[in-house]
Amino acid sequence: MARILFVEDEQAVLDTLIKFFTKEGHEVWGARTGTDALELADRYKPDIAILDVMLQEGPAGVDAMDGYEICKALRETGFDRPVIFLTARTTEQDKLVGFELGADDYMTKPFSLLELKARVEARLRRAGGARSIFRFGTTTVDLDQYAVVHPDKTEKLSNRERDLLHFFLSNRGRILSREELLKKVWGYKSGIATRTVDTHVLTVRKKLRDNAQTPIFIETLHGVGYQFIGKES
């Protein structure tokens, strides 16, 4: 599972991309403007970004960034993951500009979803796959090693704890209900006691050395669910 950011101002196209790649098992975000794209990239740290070039301006011309400018801004902020342009701009000069700004691939419209999927997977493989290491001060979460690493001790994660923490990390800032966690992490439809979620969140909190009363990682929203609030260093 990878975290994918799509930037596309045609809502129907954006909806199709989100639906397809979500069904493929990825965490997906969509933006229609440059401002939203940069905000999402900063908040969720995607593994790959797919950008349209020609974007409409926001209200009153506030947001006039095109895909080239978004790519440039991402690279300037230290975004080192793959970038693919997906656009109707087809000239050789357009492609050269894209690559000069730091793009890893350039795909023209109309496009095949299956070809785009193959290109995304190829770029992720070359980049080392989906991101798996996250650092929060002196605490490091290593999903590949199923571990939370502290300066004095390493806490091993069970399969379910690792999946739960991965889902939290992939949805930082989002409020997640117990029902959504049961569906996305456990694969349950309904009718399962949500106490299962609470128990696993408690064990993950302990391994993160988080305090439920003054949390820095996972906040409880009583009667609603949980929210991952940890800030990477």
Query: Quick one: pLDDT at residue 190?
Result: 59
N-to-C CA span, the chain: 23
φ, ψ for residue 165, nearest 5 deg: -65, -40
Encode pLDDT of 60-82 as tens digits.
Answer: 455 578 999 999 999 998 888 89
Classify residue 32 by its DSSP letter: S
> Which residue ranges make up each domain of the chain?
3-126, 143-228
Query: Quick one: pLDDT at residue 125?
Result: 81
Q: Which amino acid is at 180?
A: E
Query: Quick one: pLDDT at residue 192?
Result: 59
CATH 3.30.450.20 for the 143-228 domain, yes or no? no
**Whole-model pTM over 0.85:** no
* Nearest alpha-carbon partner for 39 in 10, 66, 5: 5
pLDDT per residue as tens, the chain (233 positions): 788 999 998 999 999 999 999 888 888 999 999 999 999 998 888 999 999 998 875 544 555 789 999 999 999 988 888 999 999 888 889 899 999 998 999 999 999 999 999 999 888 888 766 668 898 999 999 988 899 999 999 999 998 999 999 989 988 888 999 988 888 888 776 555 668 899 999 999 999 999 989 999 999 999 899 999 998 87
**At CA 159, angle to CA 148 and CA 166, rounded to 5?**
60
Q: What is the C-alpha to C-alpha distance for residues 103 and 95, in angstroms, rounded to an integer? A: 9
Q: What dotted CATH number matches 3-126? A: 3.40.50.2300
Q: Which amino acid is at 212?
A: A
φ, ψ for residue 147, nearest 5 deg: -145, 150
